[in-house]
Structure 1
Amino acid sequence: MRIATILCLLLAFLPGTAAAQIARTEWREVFSPDGTIQRVKLTRTPADAPAPRSVIAAADVVPIEVNGPSESRFDLVFVGDGYTSGQFTTYGQHVRSKFAEIMAIEPFRSHRTQFNVWQVNVASPQSGVDNDPYGVNRNTAMDMGFYCGGIQRLLCVNETKAQQYAAQAPDVDQVLALGNSTTYGGAGGRVATASGGNAQSGQVAIHELGHSIGGLADEYEGGNRYTGGEPREPNVSIYSRETMRQYRLKWHAWLGQATPDGGVIDTYEGGYYYRYGVYRPSQNSIMRTLGRQFNLPGREAMIAAFYRETGLIDAASGASTTLWVRPVSSRVTTTWTVDGHYAGQGNALHVPSLRLAKGTHTVTATVTDNTPWVRDPALKRGSLTDTRTWSIGG
């Protein structure tokens, strides 16, 4: 669970704090039906108030897909607002639909087994969300509503409550709040929101996971000229194509390559909320417009981030006759060495078949994902490689 989420929950539960009285100013992403994205500044008054503990404890957690222990998986937690207790079947259908939409796009599709998905059933007194239609307010568990900040499609939620309910799941890496509505809408932020009953709104979650998992920057434009230093995000840069190639910077390894979102990887001016002075890798990825694919540098960053969260090995053990590892994914390759010499591949090693000389020997299992979607040598050595070592004999 992220530190910011933990601090938020602690503050919410402390009596006598000003958590519910202090307004906050924050940036939110607004998503249009045509896929375009803009960033707006909102002042929330009052700030989000917490839910009572007794209400939170009543929320049920339903496992949607569990592929392994939470400590070695990326846990997506769905919370729903505006669903009455009699509408949990509908809510479950919405959760599965959004999860299917996420997993239909790469690199999620190829790395599905690295995710766990949880559905938290939160009963609302009334069905629906505020301002759907405009001017109609409803009594719901997490205060979701359209026209947030006066913007029609901006669907806001009480993030404090959403995170409290999500914390009922075994672990939380990303919270996705679904509103009981068929109207297109959503929002980015600490909690991504989307209309549960709208077929397009799952794209909001995919874009937001680009931020929260891959650390990707937005590639759409906003202000005039960027004058700052080199951004830390892997998919925006102040460097031209020639400089990248010469000094092997950012996405230099992908320059000229055809990219899943169309065209080739290059340095296209505009992104990071600026029109000039900063470059993005492709013309139109999902970090710029919904409904698109991740570009190659974005896909690379996402895969590396998956493995940083999950590792490559779920478990490993050794007996007198057999050593074994259990990888997190069938996409990886396990190579065995004995005293630094190749001894085979596969997830198990039969020790007697090695016919080792007497004495102590070092056996190492190296688990690697050799995907062509990652070219950065540092990521290959770090995030995409893991080892286990045993000392046998004696």
Structure 2
Amino acid sequence: MTTTGRSLRPGLALATMAALGLTLLPAPAASAAEPVPAGSHAVKTELREVFSPDGTITRAPISVPATESQAPASEVAAAAVTPIINNGDPATHLDLVIVGDGYTSTQLGTYDSHVRSKVDELFAVEPFASYKSLFNVWKVDVVSQQSGVDHDPYGTYRTTALDMYFHCGGTARLLCVNETKANQYARQAPDVDQVVALANTTTYGGAGGGVATASGGNASAGQIVVHELGHSIGGLADEYDYGGGTNYTGAELREANASIHQRSTMVSRQTKWWRWMGQSTPDGGVIDTFNGCRYYTNGIYRPSSNSIMRTLGRQFNLPGREQMIASFYAKATIAVSEKPLSVVVPEGVGTLVVTWRVDGEVVASMTGRSDFDRGLLGARGAGSHRVTVTVTDGTDWVRDPALRKGLSATFAWTV
């Protein structure tokens, strides 16, 4: 299913970046990697996440054109598209599209291995692992004239299809991409829900934004993709506590994993992650309200001490995992009916419950079956009967009743 998403990234002071040991260099001169619209030098400042090899995350300001026009379609070459994971109709699955930069025509085998290693790393993390069958993953073979990307090392320029470059905004490991071109190539896939761009490099780096980026040949960079999909698919907040301010005094946050309420208030008001309070969480420890989240050191609380939304290499905490599953089903379909009295359900999701009813009465013998036995209608007497089937994900990883509504689908026929 086609949807769009962009992580929100409010400000980071340069002094904070320096205190965190980030490498700051003068911004590279404008080049093919940093295009400026013809006749205009207007730029805007955005904040992109910067990922350290030790797993810590911060943000850096970069300047981008204030308006980005679409490049003519003729400038984007046709590219081969290969399914890495193909679980069915793109309209009923969540479609992740991967594009590459700095891979020449003779390096597409390297690109393929980079893609598959990143996909394997993503689907080793829950809840991606248990819900893999809801996804399609498409690899677009973007061919570049030269191997590698700009400023790798610093001061080196290459002619590539997606204009990827390190030292974006003056920060060494911030890896940016021409999002317009990346999205144009991605649209050659059957459907697009999320785009990830891989660079042909072993140098550690990546970035958030409308198109998440990561170093294709770096064994640790896949965790950047996991974190960024927490934003773009799940709408989760960053749980680290620097880059915004000291004391937050604003209104409640919209994200499921950030709140202004401490434990007692959250439980008494039955809001946010109160249902998980005190439970052991996959990322370690128990769910509580930990001070420091969403770029503030005080006044915003996170559910756990150290999840992947705070430090790379960790797991999603329980509220984060719950929100991710609900978001998967917002973009993928739990079941489809391709013919009367029959449903198709995703394979591998072991918590699915299939319940058939005739005239409102549960037919116990049909529980879990994908096709209804018409012979059972004879005992119901002559005339028309209303047959329904409800497919529900019975996972205990989702507790919020409002979210659970999206984990069910019902189909009905008059027979």
Q: Deviations over 1:285-329 (max 9, x none)?
A: 0000000000000000011111111121133422xxxx2111134
Match of 2:342 in 1: 324
* 1:306 to 2:328 alignment: yes
Residue number among 210, 224, 236 corresponding to 2:246 in the alignment: 224
Q: Which moved more, 1:181-190 or 1:242-251?
A: 242-251
Q: Which moved more, 1:46-55 or 1:162-171?
A: 46-55
* 1:364 to 2:388 alignment: yes
Q: Deviations over 1:318-347 (max 9, x none)?
A: 2xxxx2111134421110011111113121
Structure-to-structure mapping, 1:1-394, within 5 angstroms = 1-2=2-3, 22-44=42-64, 50-222=70-242, 223-318=245-340, 323-331=341-349, 332-343=352-363, 344-345=366-367, 346-354=369-377, 355-380=379-404, 382-392=405-415
CA contact (8 A) 1:48 1:158 kept: no
Q: What's the TM-score, normalizing by structure 1?
A: 0.92
CA contact (8 A) 1:219 1:270 kept: yes
CA contact (8 A) 2:336 2:344 kept: yes
**Secondary structure of the equivalent of 1:175?**
strand
Q: Partners of 2:70 and 2:218 in 1: how far apart? A: 28
The offset of 1:44, in angstroms, is 2.2
Q: Which moved more, 1:346-355 or 1:383-392?
A: 346-355
CA contact (8 A) 1:20 1:49 kept: no
CA contact (8 A) 1:311 1:383 kept: no
Q: Partners of 2:232 and 2:265 in 1: how far apart? A: 29
Distance 1:20 1:191, change over 3 A: farther
Q: Partners of 1:145 and 1:283 in 2: how far apart? A: 34
Q: What's the TM-score, normalizing by structure 2?
A: 0.87
Number of residue equivalences: 376
Distance 1:263 1:19, change over 3 A: farther
**Secondary structure of the equivalent of 1:315?**
coil
The offset of 1:39, in angstroms, is 1.6
CA contact (8 A) 2:4 2:194 kept: no
**Secondary structure of the equivalent of 2:336?**
strand
Q: Which amino acid aligns with 1:324?
A: S
The offset of 1:356, in angstroms, is 1.2
Q: More strand by proportion, 1 or 2?
A: 1
Q: Partners of 1:314 and 1:66 in 2: how far apart? A: 16
Q: Partners of 2:410 and 2:77 in 1: how far apart? A: 41
The offset of 1:360, in angstroms, is 2.1
Q: Which moved more, 1:78-87 or 1:353-362?
A: 353-362
**Secondary structure of the equivalent of 1:347?**
coil
Gaps of 5+ in 1: 6-16
Compute the RMSD of aligned alpha carbons: 1.8
Q: Which amino acid aligns with 1:370?
A: G
Q: Which amino acid aligns with 1:325?
A: V
Q: Partners of 1:18 and 1:314 in 2: how far apart? A: 48
The offset of 1:51, in angstroms, is 4.3
Gaps of 5+ in 2: 7-36
Q: Which amino acid aligns with 1:386?
A: A
**Secondary structure of the equivalent of 2:224?**
helix
Aligned-residue identity in percent: 57
Q: Partners of 2:251 and 2:214 in 1: how far apart? A: 34
CA contact (8 A) 2:102 2:147 kept: yes
Distance 1:246 1:64, change over 3 A: same
CA contact (8 A) 2:4 2:193 kept: no
Q: Deviations over 1:11-33 (max 9, x none)?
A: xxxxxx87975422211000000
CA contact (8 A) 1:111 1:329 kept: no
Q: Partners of 2:76 and 2:320 in 1: how far apart? A: 36
Match of 1:8 in 2: none
The offset of 1:258, in angstroms, is 0.2
CA contact (8 A) 1:21 1:47 kept: no
Q: Which amino acid aligns with 1:189?
A: G
**Secondary structure of the equivalent of 1:349?**
coil
CA contact (8 A) 1:20 1:48 kept: no
**Secondary structure of the equivalent of 1:348?**
coil
